[in-house]
């Protein structure tokens, strides 16, 4: 029986390295970011450079599926469930390994929400994954400033991955300016958070 393993994180948190490492085992098939905006090279970027598998892209699957059954475009609970189940079956048909690994970034969790849903409710994708007993790995990069800087560099250079030994791109002046603005904002929040608190005898809060 096929099992699902989901890595959940922000971009630039090390998910690709972890997924590739797990995918080297005899039991885990790494499908990477199945909800990535780049479906094929026709979208303007090379999927191979982004370490993507076009045949495993959900949007590519969905377009082909809607050609067969246009009525699935209506996002009812039943239709969204059918799309999810069909997509999982599509992935399972691409591998003989028992565990299918999906890399799902935080900004990709709403693609299965039905037509009526509460914005504060958990994503329907989470319900679908839990219903098939999926397992989750949640990654949070401890140095969030480094994660942010890495994302900014990738956006600026168009290089989202580099090989071992390749030098990282340097920060440009806009990154330095944004970091200075972040530091000033942190200082303002810190001053606001202590405003009005009773003072100790030494004058501190």
Q: What is the pLDDT of residues 4-31, one digit of tens each?
A: 999 999 988 999 999 999 999 999 999 9
Contact 52, 37 (CB under 8 A): no
Closest CA to 58 of 9, 112, 139: 112
CB neighbour burial string for 147-169, b if at least 16 within 10 angstroms, e if fewer: bbbbebbbeeeeebeeeeeeeee
Residues present in the chain in total: 205
- Band (pLDDT 50/70/90 cuts) for residue 185 is low
**pLDDT reading at 205 higher than 50:** no
pLDDT digits (tens, 9 = 90+) for 84-124: 999 999 999 999 999 999 999 999 999 999 999 998 999 99
45 or 125, greater pLDDT: 125
Instruction: List all residues 6 or more positions away from 170 whose beta carbon is below 8 Å from its beta carbon.
Output: 153
- At residue 199, the pLDDT reads 53
- At residue 154, the pLDDT reads 78
pLDDT digits (tens, 9 = 90+) for 99-110: 999 999 999 999
State how far the Cα of 75 lies from the Cα of 65, in Å rounded to an integer.
14
Return the number of other C-beta atoms located less than 10 Å from residue 17's C-beta. 12
Q: ∠71-125-143 over CA atoms, to 5°?
A: 140
pLDDT digits (tens, 9 = 90+) for 142-183: 988 888 888 887 777 777 776 666 666 665 556 666 666 666
State how far the Cα of 85 lies from the Cα of 178, in Å rounded to an integer.
43
- At residue 164, the pLDDT reads 61
Helix axes 58-68, 77-92, angle to 10 degrees: 120
**β-pairing, 3-9 with 135-138?**
parallel
Average pLDDT in the chain: 85
- Band (pLDDT 50/70/90 cuts) for residue 70 is very high
Contact 3, 134 (CB under 8 A): yes
Helix (H) or strand (E) holding 31, with range, is none
Q: Return the bridge partners of 136, or none.
A: 6
Tokens representing residue 87 in the block: 């997509």
């Amino acid at each position: 029986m096929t099992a699902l393993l989901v890595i959940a994180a922000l971009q630039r948190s090390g998910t690709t390295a972890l997924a590739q490492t797990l995918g080297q085992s005899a039991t885990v098939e790494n499908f990477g970011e199945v909800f990535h905006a780049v479906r094929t090279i026709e979208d303007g970027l090379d999927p191979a450079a982004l370490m993507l598998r076009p045949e495993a892209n959900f949007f590519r699957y969905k377009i082909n599926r809607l050609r067969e059954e246009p009525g699935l475009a209506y996002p009812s609970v039943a239709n969204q469930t059918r799309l999810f189940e069909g997509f999982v079956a599509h992935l399972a048909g691409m591998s003989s390994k028992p565990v299918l690994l999906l890399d799902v970034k935080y900004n990709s969790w709403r693609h299965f929400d039905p037509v009526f849903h509460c914005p504060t409710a958990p994503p329907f994708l989470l319900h679908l994954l839990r219903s098939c007993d999926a397992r989750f790995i949640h990654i949070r990069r401890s140095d969030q400033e480094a994660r942010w800087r890495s994302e900014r560099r990738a956006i600026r250079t168009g290089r989202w991955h580099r090989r071992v030994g390749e030098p990282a791109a340097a920060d440009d002046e806009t990154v330095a300016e944004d970091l200075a603005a972040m530091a000033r904002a942190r200082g303002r929040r810190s001053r606001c958070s202590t405003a009005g608190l009773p003072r100790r005898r030494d004058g501190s809060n």
